[in-house]
Amino acid sequence: MRALAVHTDVIVLVSRVWQTTCTAIRAGAEGFVIDSPIDPDELDALPDLLEQSGFPLSGLLATHADWDHLLGRLAFPAASLGCGESTAARLATEPGRAQRALRRFDEEQYIERPAPLGLGTIQALPVPGRLSVGDEHELELHPAAGHTADGTAYWLPWTGVLVCGDYLSPVEIPMISEGGSLAAYAETMARLQPLVERSETVVPGHGAPLPRERALAVIEADIAYLEALGRDGPEAPLPPGRRTAAQQRIHADNARRIATT
């Protein structure tokens, strides 16, 4: 796991698995962790890393309900978990789904964890909306569906950091998963673009944090891919730099999904 300080009040942790990101933010005496690393040793190291860095923990936040973004409570079992209303609704209608997906992953990778994943009581946050942190700051919550049926992007105005969940990845093409849609994905791109233009750093769900200019290049390439996907289906070219066999498989799944919706 790599730890990258992108601002005095923001540390981004990049998991060795899928380069999944976890973002620790600080606002005075309060602090939150958005999303999570994956491997047990990464989760075990998280509390000490935050303590040594002087980052308090007031609660956990999630960008969406996919299991690989929900593991914060394995590191902080007593912490509350907040998420956008669409994610809270998805978790309520899919009880146990994240836990089953985690068990399948662990079985395939021969991973043993000291405890099962328990999400506890979920705090649903209004989106669009604001969340006060510390005495002086607010997080802005923006809707971000399309990858899945749910999703929230977090804009941290005092840091210039945008934490956008599974969008704008430098290592993964746009992925339309179950419940997501091409139209909703395109709407999220349009919604994120002005936030990216205001940002200093963009934290994708997978891949290292991006400076503004690099993030703008990624969003331009992603919009072009989505337009080609809608027009040409499986014949659409993949974004430059993201044309590996793994991304070809994601593309094939995207084309099949939009052909049946």
pLDDT at 135 over 90: no
Sign of the torsion angle spanned by Cα atoms 191, 201, 236, 18: negative
pLDDT at 51 over 90: yes
Separation of alpha carbons 87 and 84, rounded Å: 5
Model confidence at 211, pLDDT cuts 50, 70, 90, reads very high
> pLDDT tens digit string along 78-119?
999 999 999 999 999 999 999 999 999 999 999 999 999 999
Q: What is the CATH number of domain 2-259?
A: 3.60.15.10
60-73 pLDDT, tens digit each: 999 999 999 999 99
175 bridge partner residues: none
| Chain position carrying tokens 């040793």 | 41
Give 54's Cβ-side CA count (13 Å radius).
6
* 261: pLDDT strictly greater than 80: no
Q: Is the pLDDT of residue 236 over 90?
A: yes
* Residue of 131, 133, 150, 154 whose CA lies nearest to 142: 154
The whole-model pTM stands at 0.96
* CA–CA separation, 227 and 237 (whole Å): 10
What's the average model confidence in pLDDT over 46-71?
Answer: 97
